[in-house]
Structure 1
Amino acid sequence: MKEMILSPCNGILVAFYIREDLVQKSCSTFLKIKQEDGTIIECRKTYPGKVASVEVREGEEVVKGMVLAYVEEYAIEI
């Protein structure tokens, strides 16, 4: 199942640490957004998965709720 990674706020994407086909670990930082007031928001992914597609680039302006990437979430067996 694909999950969307959405922008949590408005701002400029200053760092994007994921790329397509990269397998991301749970709780790893995947992006930083600089808001208008200069505050840097650091976002972490809370589940493991493979990046299916990246929809933005560093330096791009983003708005809250904008799709940044799609991730294929891995099922975790207990």
Structure 2
Amino acid sequence: MEEMILSPCDGVLVRFRIQENLTQKRCNTFFKIRQKDDTILEIKKTYQGKISSVEVREGEEVVKGMVLAYVEEYALEI
């Protein structure tokens, strides 16, 4: 199942730690966004998956609801 990672706020993408076609472990930081008040928001996900595509670049302005990346989510055994 493919998931979208959406921006939760307006700001500037200052760093991302993902690459297309790589599997990301759960609870890793995917993106960091500098908000208008200069605070840094870390975007983490609680699932594991393979990055299908990254839709943004470092330094790019983002808005709330903007697609940052697509992830093919893997089911985890508990």
Question: 4+ runs of 1 displaced by more than 2 Å?
Answer: none
Q: Provide the residue aligned with 2:19 in structure 1.
A: 19
Structure-1 separation of matches of 2:77 and 2:24: 18
Structure-2 separation of matches of 1:37 and 1:77: 40
Q: Provide the residue aligned with 1:74 in structure 2.
A: 74
Aligned residue pairs, count: 78
SS in 2 for 1:36: coil
TM-score, length basis structure 2: 0.96
> Which amino acid in 2 is paired with 1:71?
V
**How many percent of aligned residue pairs carry the same amino acid?**
73
Across the aligned residues of Structure 1 and Structure 2, the Cα RMSD in angstroms comes to: 0.8
> Which amino acid in 1 is paired with 2:2?
K
> Which amino acid in 2 is paired with 1:75?
A
User: Which blocks of at least 5 consecutive residues in structure 1 are unaligned?
Assistant: none
> Which amino acid in 1 is paired with 2:5?
I
